[in-house]
Structure 1
Amino acid sequence: MQKVFLECNSLDKRCYDEYGLSEDILMEHAASGMEEYIRENFSKHSSVLIAAGSGNNGGDGIALGRLLAGDYNVRLFLHKEPVSDMAKLQLKRAKAVGIEVVKELQDADVIVDAVFGSGLKRELDANTIALVNRLNSLSGVKIACDIPTGIDRKGNIKNVVFRADITFAMGALKKSYFLDGVKDFIGEIRVVTLGVSRQLYDGETTMYLLEESDMVLPSRKAQSTHKGNFGHVALLCGEKEGAAVISAKAAMRFGVGLATLVIQDKVYTPPYLMQSTSLPANTTAIAVGMGLGTFFEESFLDKHVVSNLLPIVIDADALYSKKLLSILSQARKIVVTPHPKEFISMWRILSGENITIDELQENRFEYVKKFSLKFPNVVLLLKGANTIISHKDEIYINPLGSSRLSKGGSGDVLSGLIASLLAQGYDALFSAINGSLALALASRNFLGSSYAMLPTDLIDEVGKLE
């Protein structure tokens, strides 16, 4: 798990004030981090094209060119003449070692974007748009210094974006790397240390990036056990019965001892799934919403779902129900798992505020914070290219998912995984985090074509994670 920050300027300032480091030292370390990667991955005399802006991001790029000069064929393109003192100083140094400053952009083995850093606030002008488009048309491996040009300080896209293969984060990770819209432009993210270790550089935060190593599976170690030791999940099976069946299969695969579909009419299921017209007496968690429709009377929902305090996952159709959303004010373990369209409907019911999907996607972190302030007892999992999990004042980002999950049934699998953990006695935040990680990593482990994965494949892969 890594810390994530809104911005890094205050962390840089701490380096100056507390550690006696200078802007020059931090810039040299920024350049050195990129240099190390290039030397490890590209042979000497490879060509390197650096497009540098007029500020300190440009200064980082110019310093990189100096460090590579002599061993690599370095060409420096100045988008604009340096304005910041550090960029001016780095250009003076670069010219002293004979770096070639070019007027035209030609292809190279490595393309470095050091035009704008993470402080971008304005729209890109026509010259910058043309520059980014030209850089994107080149075939070399593309490196972004700090953040790809075209992504602003909030993580939103301005006109066009440099499409990086790898982005070097300077000092620490920033929130702007993890909005859904930028995922196809950021590439791999590597953090460069700036004169002190990350432990000394990092400050306090309530935002964290989840990693594969953070996943904790419900592994069974005790030998003297029975199925009742591992909980009993009840899943409401509504109009689209397949969704609940998928969730129940996933729950069983992830370790729950028993799974029952709560039905009105019998449905075809695998023999290991039970069916009941009411909530079983030994139920330890509930999942509601997957394919639910309007199948159940409100009196039934009141009796079996709303009027108890069992742990619960609320998903899909349930997120459009004012009755079921009243659960969010209860003192029980609750996880809600909306995709963006479901979130805006839920938020309208809960707050009266009408927002569009675009408004949500541009302000995902802000809206999950609003939700968690309003419902501090609830764990929110907002689905997306980068899943966001929020509880109280803490936010966890899962960047490990892939487009393989963009298929009907994936969300039903997720609900089943989370409900399984809740039924086994885990808390809501643990269940959301580890259900999300298991889903993402199972999708990555699927060996078929990128477009071919079925929910059943996903469930099978969950069973191989240990």
Structure 2
Amino acid sequence: MQNLFDEVGSLDKRSYSEFGLTEDLLMEHAANGMASYIKESFTQGAKLTIVCGCGNNGADGLALARLLHLHFNITLFLARTPTSEMAKLQYKRIQNLNIKESEILVESDILVDALVGTGFKGELSPTLTDLLHDMNKMTAFKVACDVPSGFVFHADVTLTMGALKKSLFCDKVKDLVGEIKVLDLGIHRDLYETESSTKLLDEDDLELPYRTQQNSHKGSFGHLSIAHGEMRGASTMSALAATRFGCGLVTLITHDNNNSFVYSLMSSAQLPKNTSALCCGMGLGNAFSNDDLETFFDNAYPLILDADIFYMPIILQLLKRDSLVLTPHPKEFISLLKLTNLADISIEELQKNRFTYVELFCDK
């Protein structure tokens, strides 16, 4: 799992106080990281346009221009005059390099967006918005410095500094960030970061139940019981997925004696005694009474809960369990927030502030 952060300003300050780094050093390493990526990915001499803003994101772009000077055919587009101290310093450093500046966007092989970064607050001006739309129309390979500016720029790759930001993983920006790469800032990422309560799951986090002992059988790999509800396709798919992922035994719990399965799956009217985990909610509908559900959950088994169960009052009891996995989609999560008296909000509000409401729910 990787840590996700709201912002990294506090991590920067920690690197100053604990590791003796400076803002200038961090910026130099950020620019070096971007330069290394571009050198490794593109042929020397390719046309490179760097669009710079007036703040520290623009300063990163100016430092990048200095480092790639003579390696690439560089054109600088200054959207605004440098105003931050670092932007002024980086602009001063390139004055004697004769790097070409242009007042219009020119087609190139590579386009770097260094307009605004994570420190930008408020809304983009119409001028900057129009500029970003013009940049999006260009055929160049598009590189975002830290984050795509205003989440308007459509990047092919985002080279983000130091650590992953939550903003890069919001639904509305998933199609804007492209591939995400984290650049170190003078110290290893493990030292730069602190622990975060918000995590990003990786493929490496998937631990399938591989057979490590020869003296084993299907019962050695768990028994999952799944409530087989009205919309049977959902629970059937869950059962097949559990089997595919390595669960030794999977049983569908159903009261329908005449039930016929498209696939050869075990079924039972009662919860098997050797159950090791329960799954309930997907396609549940009204197939089970409250008494049925009370009986179903009258144990200490680990739970995987989904879909319809999030609209039922019994969820309030189940949330007290220690071993619990919840998989709600937005509408179901809104129901959870309402049942727990945490919030009564619209889907639009939730989508704008997903991390905020998930953290609110988890803190409870």
Both proteins in one fold, TM over 0.5: yes
Q: Which residue of 2 aligns with 1:299?
A: 291
Aligned-pair identity (%): 48
Q: Does 1:361 align with 2:351?
A: yes
Which of 166, 173, 177 in structure 1 is aligned with 2:157?
166
Q: Does 1:82 align with 2:82?
A: yes
For 1:142-157, what aligned pairs fall within 5 Å after superposition? 142-151=142-151
* Deviates further, 10-19 or 104-113: 10-19
For 1:151-300, what aligned pairs fall within 5 Å after superposition? 151=151, 161-265=152-256, 266-269=258-261, 272-300=264-292
Which 4+ residue blocks in structure 1 deviate beyond 6 angstroms? Answer: none
- Deviation of 1:9 after TM superposition, in Å, equals 1.3
Deviation per CA, 1:195-240: give whole Å up to 9, x if none: 2222332233333333222321111122222333333222111211
Q: TM-score, normalised by structure 2?
A: 0.94
Question: Is 2:79–2:115's contact at 8 Å kept on the other side of the alignment?
Answer: yes
Q: Per the alignment, in what secondary structure is the counterpart of residue 344 of structure 1? A: helix
* Distance in 2 of aligned mates of 1:233 and 1:201: 41
Deviation per CA, 1:44-64: give whole Å up to 9, x if none: 221111110001110110111
Q: Which residue of 1 aligns with 2:323?
A: 333
Question: Is 1:233–1:258's contact at 8 Å kept on the other side of the alignment?
Answer: yes
Q: Per the alignment, in what secondary structure is the counterpart of residue 191 of structure 1? A: strand
RMSD over aligned Cα atoms: 1.8
Question: Is 1:241–1:267's contact at 8 Å kept on the other side of the alignment?
Answer: no
Question: Is 1:252–1:259's contact at 8 Å kept on the other side of the alignment?
Answer: yes
Q: Per the alignment, in what secondary structure is the counterpart of residue 246 of structure 2? A: coil
- Deviation of 1:13 after TM superposition, in Å, equals 1.8
Q: Does 1:313 align with 2:298?
A: no
Question: Is 2:342–2:361's contact at 8 Å kept on the other side of the alignment?
Answer: no
- Deviation of 1:289 after TM superposition, in Å, equals 1.1
User: Which amino acid is the alignment partner of residue 350 of structure 2?
Assistant: L
Q: TM-score, normalised by structure 1?
A: 0.74
Which 5+ residue runs of structure 2 have no aligned equivalent? none
- Deviation of 1:270 after TM superposition, in Å, equals 5.5
Q: 1:215 to 1:303 in 2, by over 3 A?
A: closer
Q: Per the alignment, in what secondary structure is the counterpart of residue 204 of structure 1? A: coil
Q: Which residue of 2 aligns with 1:52?
A: 52
- Deviation of 1:141 after TM superposition, in Å, equals 0.6
- Deviation of 1:130 after TM superposition, in Å, equals 0.5
Q: Does 1:110 align with 2:110?
A: yes
User: Which amino acid is the alignment partner of residue 195 of structure 1?
Assistant: G
User: How many positions carry a matched residue from both structures?
Assistant: 363
Q: 1:271 to 1:206 in 2, by over 3 A?
A: closer
Q: 1:86 to 1:228 in 2, by over 3 A?
A: closer
Q: Per the alignment, in what secondary structure is the counterpart of residue 186 of structure 1? A: coil
Q: Per the alignment, in what secondary structure is the counterpart of residue 185 of structure 1? A: coil
Q: 1:208 to 1:349 in 2, by over 3 A?
A: closer
Deviation per CA, 1:248-286: give whole Å up to 9, x if none: 122222222322211121322256422222222332222
For 1:5-16, what aligned pairs fall within 5 Å after superposition? 5-16=5-16
* Distance in 1 of aligned mates of 2:78 and 2:356: 36
Q: Per the alignment, in what secondary structure is the counterpart of residue 150 of structure 1? A: helix
